[in-house]
Amino acid sequence: MPGLRQGITPNFAFLERGVVRGLSFALFFGVVLFVLAGCGGGTSAPSLRPPRTAKLQWLGHQSFLLSSSLGTKILTNPYAPGSVPHTFPPNIRPDVLLISNEVRTANNDGAVENFPTVFRSSVGKGINNAAGTRIRGTPTYPNPSSPDSVKMNLVFSWITDGMRFCFLGDVPSSLPPEEAALIGQVDVLFLPVGGRLGAADRDVLLGQLRPRLIIPMGSRGAVEAWAAGFGRVHRPGTGYVLLNREALPAEYVGIVLSPP
């Protein structure tokens, strides 16, 4: 596994205390600046803002709900009843819905209770904008030399709260170098495990995209098997995690969320 250093215990304070510490420091430092400004005779103090924090929630299989600090919600791959051993939660109202491939485990747009902007199939290819977010859809195919729109998988990438997210869906292999270059370095990567993507191609993808956080997605058994072999894994003990760019780790770490 490229970049994996054995025998090192990762420091996960970036998840457990980073946001709280950032807020506490900002409040303290803000008071100090206010006092100093009052003694300085007319020089206004610079304003400090707490770090922008996004919430990422696992809804089962490849379905995740990302909520930005401004309240914008992006949902990925909602599944149909009976297609996976999970029950899709009620009252999900995203602003944007991303569907990477047209299979029952990923394309149940009827699972949501509103009418979001939907990117899927040919509509999702290229650069699109919705809810103030610029989203790139990169098509991938099992046989790149003979593209088949029915079997196409879209790799989505976008920026939320200063962090670059990349959702691979059911990507069949590593990306062509020119496509990986367009996506660029990723902060948070949604990585399929236990499906058609082989271990060698997963390693290549990690080298191409150089993520700081890896979110494995798939069946519970596949996620656990991947986590056992990966090594650098943190389990928040909940079905969600709070993320801010300032507190992301320098070396990539896998985040295994609790099942819904």
**Residue ranges of the domains in the chain?**
52-255
Name the amino acid, one letter, at 120. R
Res 34 pLDDT > 80: no
Indicate if the pLDDT at residue 81 is higher than 50.
yes
Task: Give residue 15's pLDDT band: very low, low, confident or very high (50, 70, 90).
Answer: low
Label residue 260 by pLDDT band (50, 70, 90): confident
Cβ pair 203, 230 in contact under 8 A: no
DSSP classification of residue 99: -
Smallest Cα–Cα separation from 115: which of 102, 130, 128, 103? 130
pLDDT of 7 reads: 36
Token couple for 164 = 């670059």
Residue 161 to residues 12, 39, 47, 51, 232, Cα–Cα distance (Å): 20, 35, 19, 9, 25
- SS3 percent helix, strand, coil of the chain, rounded to 5, is 25, 25, 50
Classify domain 52-255 at the CATH superfamily level: Ribonuclease Z/Hydroxyacylglutathione hydrolase-like (3.60.15.10)
Say if residue 71's pLDDT is above 70: yes
Q: Residue 124 corresponds to which amino acid?
A: G
Q: How far is residue 75's CA from residue 84's CA, in Å, rounded to a whole number?
A: 17
pLDDT for res 12: 52
Q: Whole-structure pTM over 0.85, yes or no?
A: no
